[in-house]
Structure 1
Amino acid sequence: MNRMESTDKRRDVYGIASTDSRAKSFVLWREVAMAYISPAVMAGIGGLVTADKGLQIAALTTIGGASALIAWMLGLWLRSTGGKNRWVAGANRLIVTGTFTLGGIAFGLLAAWLTVYLLGIVWPFDPAPWVDRVWLDFPMSGAIASTIMIWRWRLTAAKN
């Protein structure tokens, strides 16, 4: 049996689509970690440069946390049904990324509105100082997380 027949048998038995060992698969926890770390580090650096303690704290909480949450939800969707949608996998990468970025901004605005609204109902006293930040932090985090997730997913899908 030659090498070509052996490779074909492995593809049939194990469902191997690619023999390129350099191509990495889409691993959700790794992508969510990148979606948390990237904006948190950049906002933390911005907070250090401007000496803004509020931005330094928000980098690890509202900015990084919202990015991780949105990336996790989008990653679960991409892993389960997103790859089966023809327009997500087949359309121009910039168009798909832009669409998901706008969707992430809209989701972030909705999350900010729900947070402020529900916190106003549950906590009738003067709101915490971080509540004013969510109007900027959540949409920005949604945009960053959506862009990172869909871009990296498309690169992985193209390689595999």
Structure 2
Amino acid sequence: MNKMEYPNQTDGAYEIKSGGSGAKGFVLWREILMAYVSPAIMAGIGGLVTADKGLQLGALTTIGGTSALVAWMLGLWLRSRGVHKRWISGAPHLVVVGLFALMGAMFGLFAAWATSGLLEIMIPSNDLAWVGRVWIDFPLSGFIASTIVIWRWRLAVTTNFSSKRRR
């Protein structure tokens, strides 16, 4: 009797089922959602613990919103041009993440400078309480979002590349 006549009933019961190559791809809306939710939850918890209403409000607006915006812009760039840049996928993972995190923080500083400068021109009294927070919220959000997106993108690209090479 061979194995084909009496198959083992546990064959396939413990296999890991996966669709396609088994690697999760880079899905932009999921990355934007993750970039919004992660810092917003952490800042919201911090606001609850310290009873800081400004931080609680900032968690949902300036912190989460800036993170989502940076994730969206970086994700679009990575999808269109990131695959063609060999240094992004070829350099060590931590170096690439560090560079993009620094660029995200610099973008946040620029956005804070532009926002506060524009609001000073439009609203001279600066009665908006959140304007003072943008100098911390925007660079920190850019840093966090860039780190999350580039880390997850590199993992997706590396996993897809290695699974294609095995075939």
TM-score (norm 1): 0.86
Gapped regions of structure 2 (runs ≥ 5):
1-18, 161-167
Which structure shows the higher helix fraction? 1
> Which secondary structure state, in structure 2, belongs to the residue aligned with residue 67 of structure 1?
helix
Q: Structure 1 residue 127: deviation in Å?
A: 3.2
1:20 Cα offset (Å): 2.3
Note the residue ranges of structure 1 that are not aligned, 5 or more in a row. 1-17
Hey, what does 2:47 align to over in structure 1? 47
1:59 paired with 2:59, answer yes
Equivalences for 1:109-124 in 2 at 5 Å? 109-124=109-124
Query: Per-residue CA shift, 1:100-144, capped at 9, x if unaligned?
Result: 000001000000000000011111223301000000000000000
Checking the alignment, whether the CA contact within 8 Å between 2:97 and 2:150 is kept in structure 1 is: yes
Moved over 3 A (4+): none
For 2:127 and 2:89, how far apart are their aligned partners in 1?
43
RMSD: 1.1
1:72-95 deviation digits (Å, cap 9, x = unpaired): 000000000011101111110000
- Aligned twin of 1:85: 85
Contact 2:119 2:126 in 1 (8 A): no
**Max radius of gyration: which structure?**
2
Matched residue, 1:126: 126
Output the CA distance in 2 between the equivalents of 1:45 and 1:108: 22
Question: Aligned partner of 1:25: which letter?
Answer: G
After TM superposition, the structure 1 = structure 2 runs for residues 91-110 of structure 1, keeping only pairs within 5 Å, are: 91-110=91-110
Shift of residue 19, structure 1, vs aligned partner:
4.0
What percentage of aligned pairs have identical amino acids?
A: 65
- Aligned amino acid, residue 90 of structure 2: G
3-state DSSP class of the match of 1:83?
helix
Letter in 2 for 1:20: S
SS in 2 for 1:24: coil
Q: How many residues align?
A: 142
Contact 1:120–1:127 under 8 Å retained in 2: no
Report the more deviating stretch, 67-76 or 119-128.
119-128
Which residue identity lines up with residue 62 of structure 1 in the other structure? T
State the partner residue of 1:5: none
Q: How many Å separate the matches in 2 of 1:36 and 1:47?
A: 16
Q: Corresponding residue for 2:28?
A: 28
